Amino acid sequence: MIPRDTPARRATAARPRSLPARAGIGLKPEHFRAILQTRPDLGFVEIHAENYMVAGGPFHHWLTRIRERYPLSIHGVGLSIGGEDPLDETHLDRLAALLDRYQPESFSEHLAWSSHGGNFYNDLLPVAYDKTTLARVCEHIDRIQERLGRRMLLENPATYVEFAASTLSEAEFISEVVRRCDCGLLLDVNNVHVSCTNHGRDARDFLASLPLAAVGQIHLAGFASEVDSLGAPLLIDSHGAPVAEVVWALYRHALDRIGPTPTLIERDNDIPALPVLLAEAHHADRILEGLLPVVAESAVS
């Protein structure tokens, strides 16, 4: 696997290694033992940073052993980068300590907020795409990258509403953040599909307007389908189902433009047995290796 020479890769070259352009899976406690016993052939594993911000115990025990054998991506869900509150420096300290301990090949966070007034809302909440928010998000990312001493990847969100206050499109907003902060982009292909469906946009047009040269990792997941008050599709980023065929097609479309990229299979709800996730990862690997014929796009869209 030859790493591409993208800005994201150049910036992470200072780290011991970078994630391979292969498929990985989210590491769940249900699978700790099975992974160590069966040692599956995986590109990497990814954890949610906050789950390991505890003093000791089994989580650290297992992660230490698994990390010795696999490249690691640490994915934060609690920094509230889009929040109006100042960045939580205590939380940033915890994060720095975790990264220091496990030396992950990649660190990523979300374009979203989750804390306000000191309360934590345990969801990735949407931001208005305006100049004020842009300045705040950039200030926060600058501080995070400075504190952690590394470049981070920012994930595009799955959203269910939009704001009247927005003056920029989501792609314009993300492009500007990536340009100003020199951070990378974590391209969540499922989120692209979910958000574009929820807001009546064309996913391929949207993808084309993102700063694809900055993509350092891809996320794939399953969604749930509902309808809004007018009966239009409202997709929920549930991480509770296999990756949908329409998302696999969009993934292939994205890879055509950016080349082989580390790809995570995310599953956080209704977690299946390890072999089921490995099969999905294997599917992504075959696409990455160019072994799967491209499905005619009309058949899936």
Partner 1 sequence: MSADFAAALLATDGRCPPGLTCWNGSAPEKRFAVYRNNVVVGLVDALADSFPVTQTLVGEDFFRAMAREFVRRTPPRSPVLALYGEGFAEFVEGFPPAAGLPYLADVARLELLRVRSFHAADARPVTQQHLDRLLADQAALPQARFALHPALFVLTSAHAVVSLWAAHQSESAALQLAGLDTTQAEAALVCRHQLEVGIYRIGPGAAGFITALQQDANLSAAAEQALTTDADVDLTATLGLLLQAGAIVGITHPRRTHP
Partner 2 sequence: MNKALSAASLALAFGAAMGIAAAPVSAASHGGAMKAETEKCYGVAMKGKNDCKAGAGTSCAGTSKMDHQANAWSMVPKGTCEKTMSKTSPTGNGQLMEFKEKKA
Residues that bind partner 1 (CB under 8 A): 50-51, 53-61, 77-80, 83-84, 88, 91, 94, 113-123, 125-126, 128, 160-165, 198-201, 228-230, 232, 234, 236
Total chain residues near partner 2 (CB under 8 A): 30
* Residues whose CB falls within 8 Å of the CB of residue 218, separated by 6 or more in sequence, listed in order: 186, 187, 188, 189, 251, 254, 261, 262, 263, 264
Q: Give me Rg for the CA atoms of the chain.
A: 18
Is 38 among the residues that bind partner 2 (CB under 8 A)?
no
Q: Name the amino acid, one letter, at 230.
A: L
Encoding tokens for residue 25?
């899976």
Is 24 among the residues that bind partner 2 (CB under 8 A)?
no
Which does residue 119 bind out of partner 2, partner 1, none, counting CB within 5 to 8 angstroms by kind?
partner 1
Q: How far is the CB of 213 from partner 2 (least distance, A)?
A: 25
Nearer to partner 1, 125 or 185 (CB): 125
- Secondary structure class of 153 (helix, strand, coil): strand
Which does residue 75 bind out of partner 1, partner 2, none, counting CB within 5 to 8 angstroms by kind?
partner 2
Nearer to partner 2, 30 or 146 (CB): 30
Instruction: For residue 201, give Cα distances in angstroms to 137, 192, 205.
Output: 24, 10, 8
Nearer to partner 1, 71 or 76 (CB): 76
The answer to whether 78 touches 110, Cβ cutoff 8 Å, is no
* Nearest C-alpha neighbor of 190 from the set 152, 246, 110, 233: 246
By CB under 8 A, which span of 48-56, 92-100, 136-144, 287-295 interacts with partner 2?
A: 48-56
Give the pairing type, strands 119-125 and 113-116: antiparallel
Question: Please, how many CA atoms are within 13 Å of residue 166, restricted to the half-sphere of its CB?
Answer: 15
By CB under 8 A, which span of 41-49, 129-137, 138-146, 255-263 interacts with partner 2?
A: 41-49
Nearer to partner 2, 224 or 292 (CB): 224
* Nearest C-alpha neighbor of 91 from the set 53, 127, 121: 53
Q: How far is the CB of 52 from partner 1 (least distance, A)?
A: 9
Residues engaged in binding partner 2 (CB under 8 A): 28-30, 47-51, 58-59, 75, 77-78, 110, 122-124, 158, 221, 224, 226, 234, 236-240, 266, 268-269
